A and B are shown apart, each in its own frame.
Chain A
Amino acid sequence: MEIFKIKKDIPFMSYGRLTTAISLITFLLSVFFLAHRGLNLGVDFTGGTMMEVSYPQAADIGKIREAVDSVGLKDATVQNFGTSRDVLIRLPLKPELSISALSEQVLTALQKADPNVKMNRVESVGAQVGQELYENGALALLLVSIGIMAYLALRFEWRFAVAAVIANMHDVVIILGFFAFFQWEFNLTVLAAVLAVLGYSVNESVVVFDRVRENFRKMRKAGVQEVINNAITRTMSRTVITHFSTQLMVLSMLFFGGEVLHNFSLALTIGILFGIYSSVLVASPIAMYLGVSRENLMTGAEKKPAAADAQP
């Protein structure tokens, strides 16, 4: 079976203006939602307590809220998730009470209200730890970008490196934009997904760039635009098939992975969808606008003769 039987190269680069415009709009919208609504940060980052409890029968949210209120926590949120028997309770930090005492008190109150309550999961994070996790997350994001850029600059050329990183950041910002728009909870697991997308999506750009370099060598007479068009067309089949396969896995996680992996797989889904788009239609035009040419790539390749070995 073969889905992509494309005889002629698709002139992707002549749509450059349109695709860049679309990207720019989604990007700006994401930034707007991020600024306007902000991320719904989980307790990992804000500090606070999250408890997951379950009951043998349908949970009485009102009664649970009463029990939590009795501890003196007015800002707590109590909600169902998954089934009507499972309840998620979120408690903000209380400066006068240690986090360990807090969860203890709430659990005691819940047990008093209904002795059948079962505690499934408690996560309590102090304010300082939350702040650190937040900072470390940002640092990881920054370092991944720098690392990838350095590798690509070494392996290809700085124009490709910059283009790939811009395309990647575009994906990351859009994922964050989605999370801000829908106010999905952003926690450490989602951060892991976002960072994985960063590594994953750069793959795409690498595959296209690899082909661009090869084409520069083979298609001696073609212009830059033709070379890139050909590279994208030739790799398109692979791009779509790979992403489709990965998406199958992610969908499986979305369906079977339960609450903890839900937002994780959501972030990956958005990342994969926009990853296809951005690596093809964002990274390449940017590389072109930055003025990638045969000359600056060839010198790059000569510096690394090992890369040319594969050529017959």
Chain B
Amino acid sequence: MNRYPLWKYLLVLITLVLGVVYSLPNLFGESPAVQVSTAKSSAKLDPALLGQVEDILKQEKITYEAVFLDTNGVKVRFENADTQINAKDVLQGKLGKDYVVALNLISRSPSWLRSIGALPMYLGLDLRGGVHFLLQVDMKAALDKAAERYVGDFRSALRKERVAYMGVSRDGQAVQVRFSSAAELEKGKKILNKEYPDLTFRDIDSGNDKLLIATLNLQAQKRIQEFALKQNIQTLHNRVNELGVAEPIIQQQGLDRIVIQLPGVQDTAKAKEILGRTATLEIRMVDEEKSDMTTLDKASKGQVPFGDEYYVERNGQPILVKKNVVLTGDYITDAGPGLDQQNGESVVHVTLDARGARIFKQATKENVGKRMAILLIEKGQAEVITAPVIREEIGGGRVQISGMANVQEATDVSLLLRAGALAAPMDIIEERTVGPSMGEENIKRGWHSTLWGFAAIAVFMIIYYMLFGSVSVLALGVNLLLLTAVLSLLQATLTLPGLAAIALTLGMAIDANVLINERIREELRNGNTPQAAIHAGYDRAFDTILDSNVTTMIAGLALFMFGSGPVKGFAVVHVLGILTSMFSAVVVSRALVNLIYGYRRKISKLSIG
């Protein structure tokens, strides 16, 4: 009666093998490494880049342990931190600004493990050091900004239709238009209603003043907020790239928050500065009169003509741009890549708001045939993104920027135009920093807790239950193995509370084996034969084990759903640990007991203490 069918033994065996394989990467430790990823969508992540990186390292005679390409980029592993830092500087210098070269730590596990997706556990910030920020996006400001834009738009719309109005102003997130007569108000309302379906209009008659009040309807508000959040995340991505962080996490949390996790970043001051800075976009005219070779040459040496600024375009062309700003990025409402309808060239379509459109129309009218530079100004540093030639007067606020090399570049530029600036201001509302030595210390602490606790339980169980105690300890060991494998496989974030959860889950998992062992003893005491006692012991204990695990599971799931930070980290491991413990304590330990006792004809005594 105490024999498993073959498939059950095989199941246990296969699970064990898988457990060992997927836990293995954790044993190899980590080496200093450099990770090369792309900073711009135009730069590709492909085997060519891999070859390029290899060539550079060979040229510079930098020895490396391994180099490979994965979804995050090209990773190169080195023997020590000195070579790593040297290699980083060399690679960054040779590859240029299109690539992010970041320092990282990667597992020394062999490539066959990596190829089957066996990776070491994903360590949280408290175990590897780094910064965590929670940013609150100021949605009110985003809506204010949107309302502000309508003020200008209304003015030009009303003027265009020759409606007499007394004034347009913003009141919170509403736009107020004052009219002198009800008739004009009606006329204006009709026009605005048609042109701005996103707005809800309502009029107030307060004696002399006839007021038309426009507010954003709920869908439009939601859209603006979502757009603001997305744009901010995009901007943050670009900025984090600049920090050279190997595996940054930038995620939306809730409706108006963004989480940023930067593993390995120690200089929080610099991180905060880069994340918090504001970028602006400017459109200025190129100084065509002074764009001859000699002036440009002189300018490159520092003799810049009065009223101009000297820049180098992305393609390396020197350029002189007037200091006078035609238009700022505030007027851009949208930008996206596209194709020119006449020649099929890649272009970027930019949509300006009404005021921007008017200014732009005027500027292009006066400057046909000249070049116009689009500059991105970040951290006081300006860069000319592109400087296309104005072919004709452009009205209507739809601007097409030509001169893009390909679709990639068009996408890239529109991204920059959109994401260059933050859509709404943000505040850091939570910040957690863990130093690198602290992370190592925490790993050591968590590991020691588990190790010594496990050892103590093992000694006690073996003394108390003899052979059955040893089986329980083996089952507990399998539980640890499986839990490690599952955590590695799922790449769930392991934190210090998570390590505590491993220890605690092991301490609690022994309960199932204690229940079983006690039950077997009791059955023996009641006069059952050893075989019957084993059978009944496992059978009867199972109900109890299930019940108690389900209740623990309820607690674990609630923790996971409502917990944040450390609580969540604890809950993930706890819940997974309960699942693996059910398998190891019941199935694995039974398989062992079956193998030991199930095939004997006669047993006079069980070794259960």
Contacts and interface: CB of A to CB of B under 8 A. Distances in A.
B453 A199 contact: no
A214 B456 CA distance: 33
Cβ-closest 5 pairs across A and B: A199-B555, A249-B507, A252-B453, A249-B453, A126-B429
B417 to A, nearest CB: 29
Interface in B490-511: 496-497, 500-501, 503-504, 506-508, 510-511
A257 interface: yes
Contacts of B501: 196
B521 interface: yes
A121 B449 CA distance: 21
Contact of A210 (B428, B543, B567): B543
B511 A246 contact: yes
Given A98-B428, A99-B429, A257-B449, A120 B504 contact: no
Interface in B544-581: 544, 547-548, 550-559, 561-567, 570-571, 574
B431 A123 contact: yes
B552 to A, nearest CB: 4
Interface string A207-244: 10011001000000000000000000011011001101
Interface stretch (A8-16, A60-68, A135-143): A135-143
A151 B548 CA distance: 11
Contact of A253 (B449, B518, B554): B449
A147 B515 CA distance: 24
Interface of B: 126, 133-134, 136, 268-269, 272, 276, 427-435, 437-438, 441-442, 445-446, 448-454, 456-457, 460-461, 463-464, 496-497, 500-501, 503-504, 506-508, 510-511, 514-515, 518, 521-522, 536, 539-540, 542-544, 547-548, 550-559, 561-567, 570-571, 574, 609
Contacts of B556: 199
B446 A307 contact: no
Contacts of A248: 453, 456-457, 460, 507
Given A188-B564, A252-B449, A310-B540, 10 more contacts: A120-B434, A120-B437, A136-B563, A196-B555, A199-B553, A203-B552, A238-B511, A238-B514, A246-B504, A248-B453
A124 B131 CA distance: 11
Contacts of A312: 536
Given A143-B562, A147-B558, A125 B507 contact: no
Contact of B430 (A121, A124, A147, A200): A124
Given A136-B562, A189-B566, A195-B559, A119 B508 contact: no
Contacts, number: 252
Given A192-B497, A246-B507, A129 B430 contact: yes
Q: DSSP majority for the B interface?
A: helix
A107 B131 CA distance: 15
A180 interface: no
A247 B598 CA distance: 33
Interface in A169-210: 187-189, 191-192, 195-196, 198-200, 202-203, 206-207, 210
Interface stretch (A26-34, A70-78, A258-266, A288-296): A258-266
A192 B427 contact: no
21 contacts: A2-B609, A44-B565, A119-B435, A120-B434, A120-B438, A121-B433, A137-B562, A140-B558, A140-B562, A148-B554, A189-B500, A192-B571, A199-B554, A203-B511, A238-B515, A245-B457, A248-B460, A249-B506, A253-B504, A307-B543, A310-B539
Nearest to B448: A256
A99 to B, nearest CB: 6
